[in-house]
Structure 1
Amino acid sequence: MHPETHLLLHRSRTAELQAAAARPALPREHRLRIQLGWILVELGLRLTQQPPHRAARLA
C-alpha cells in the first residue's frame, strides 16, 4: 500500500475513534436493556434451530 494512502486511512480511523470517545456514554439502564435484548435474540435463534438428526442405536 502506498505510504500516503496508509497514513490517510490511519488519520481517518483516528478521527472516527476520537468522535466516538467524545460522545456521552449510555446510562447503565440503557446498556442493560441492550444487553438483555441481544440475549433474547440469541435465545430465540437457538430455539429456532433444528435439533441434530441422530441415528437410532440398536444395542
Structure 2
Amino acid sequence: MSHPETHLALHRIRATELRARAGHYRLAAAVKPPVHLRARLGWTLVELGLRLAATPRRTAAIA
C-alpha cells in the first residue's frame, strides 16, 4: 500500500508538469493567422458548402 503523502507528492509533481505544458500551449494559441487568410478560407468553405447543398444534377442511367 502507498502512503497518502507519497500519492500527494506525485500528484503535485504531475500538476506542476501539466501547468508548464499548459503555459506552452497558451502561448502558441495567442499567435493567430492573418485576418485576410481567415476570411478567404471562410468564404471558400461557404462556397463549398453551398455547392454541396445544391440539388445534384441528374445523370443518365446506364442501361
Common fold by TM > 0.5: no
Q: Which has the larger radius of gyration?
A: 2
What band does the TM-score fall into relative to the shorter chain?
0.3 to 0.5
State the TM-score, normalized to the length of structure 1. Answer: 0.45
